[in-house]
Amino acid sequence: MTVGLERRVQLALLIGVASVSTAATLFKLSEAGPLVKVFYRLFFAVLLLLPMLFLWERGRWPKLSPRIVGLLLLGGLVLAGHFGLWVASLDLTSVTSSVVLVTAHPVLVALASAVLLHEPPGRRTLFGIGLGLAGVAVIALADLGEGRDSLLGDLLAGSAGVLAAVYLLIGRTLRPVVPVLRYSTTVYSLCLLWLLGPILILNEPLLSPGVGSDWPIFLGLAVGPTILGHTLLNYTLKYVQATLVSASLIAEPIGASLIAAAILGEVPTTLVVAGAGLALAGIYAVATAPEHRRLGLPEPPG
């Protein structure tokens, strides 16, 4: 990886993690149903990405193998499940607890990367992940004893975190062979299609009276945590291990908690601040591990 490319990947990781940190507060500001919020987030993102895709990929539309098509379909399904479960959790528990639990996936990504992608993490990476998750656990303690709704919200967020791990591994598998705009736009579009079934089954109206007043929120979700967040993180998955991207997202609960405190009045406790410190220490340990000193792997051919 050249120095210039390495810096672009670093910047993409920084902007990506900062951008996804805004999602929880934006979702909480909307009164629409959970799946409706996710639908319009992706609808506006696809609407904005399609012109860029056609301009950038003009004349370059190679035939995709059945394996790649299958993984893209699976990626859209997994992303729909991840978003649906996580946004539903935000209606039941605090921003901090929800985001902490949904980002508690680095261990799964590290283990799965070792088995499926032959990218075993080193000892420092494992130590950093453990330290980061210890911080996550400390933050989660702040939400204990808040009642059944909070516990259900925590369960939904944790399940969404498992799906996030699967989604990152799919991205790590596909990004070396599928350009980022094509990959992201396709997966977001497929996610939209997968969401239509549950929306109809659960009878969440896409055009209810309250939805119209939330268009600015949905557009913000599309531009911020989706295009500047998920899409930039998808970009990095071509060049770095899924473990590093996953570990970087440990920072999301910190940013999300600060934003929620400023906008929603959800002020983090001393326990949350202590957990945030542990999480940041874990991220630093992972980022400075020998296998990540140059931000991961050489650029794959093609």
Q: Is residue 288 assigned to a domain?
A: no
pLDDT, one tens digit for every residue, the chain (302 residues): 677 888 899 899 999 999 999 999 999 999 888 999 999 999 999 999 999 988 887 766 677 889 999 999 999 999 999 999 999 999 888 887 888 788 877 776 766 777 776 777 788 888 888 888 888 788 777 766 555 677 788 889 989 988 998 999 899 999 999 999 999 999 999 999 999 999 989 888 887 766 778 999 999 999 999 999 999 999 999 988 887 888 888 888 888 988 998 999 887 778 877 887 888 788 777 767 776 554 444 343 33
Establish if 103 belongs to a structural domain. Answer: yes
Cα 128 to Cα 285: distance, rounded to the nearest angstrom: 5
For the beta carbon of residue 183, count every other beta carbon within 10 angstroms. 23
Give a yes or no: residue 137 inside a domain.
Answer: no
Q: Report yes or no on 62 lying in a domain.
A: yes
Structural domain containing residue 185 = 3-121+145-241
Q: Which of 271, 296, 257, 246 has the alpha carbon at shortest distance from 129?
A: 246
Domain count, the chain: 1
Alpha-carbon gap, residue 33 to 210, rounded angstroms? 10
Q: Is residue 161 part of a domain?
A: yes
Provide the H-helix boundaries in 21-142: 23-29, 34-56, 66-90, 95-102, 106-116, 123-141
Please choose, from the candidates 202, 252, 214, the residue with its C-alpha nearest in 3D space to the C-alpha of residue 44. Answer: 214
What would the pLDDT profile of 12-24 be if each residue is shown by its tens digit?
A: 999 999 999 999 9
Residue 302, pLDDT score: 33
Q: Which residue has the tokens 């970009």?
A: 235
Distance CA 302, CA 177 (A): 7
* Per-residue model confidence as pLDDT tens digits over 37-49: 999 999 999 999 9
Cα–Cα distance measured from residue 298 to residue 301, given in angstroms and rounded to the nearest whole number: 9
What's the pTM? 0.85
